[in-house]
Amino acid sequence: MNLQERKKERKKAKIRFTNDLACHFLFSEDRLPMAYASS
């Protein structure tokens, strides 16, 4: 794999990681109010 391809893969991985993180925060934000309401 040449340098250009490696950079592309790294960028793809970073984007995927950021998306996962965003999803995780969205879901935990949604869950927090419900957790407080039920307790």
Q: pLDDT for 1-39, tens place per residue?
A: 799 999 999 999 998 988 888 877 776 666 666 556 665
User: What three-state secondary structure class fits 5?
Assistant: helix
Q: Which pTM was predicted?
A: 0.50
**pLDDT of res. 10:** 94
User: How far, CA to CA in Å, does 39 sit from each of 5, 10, 25?
Assistant: 50, 43, 21
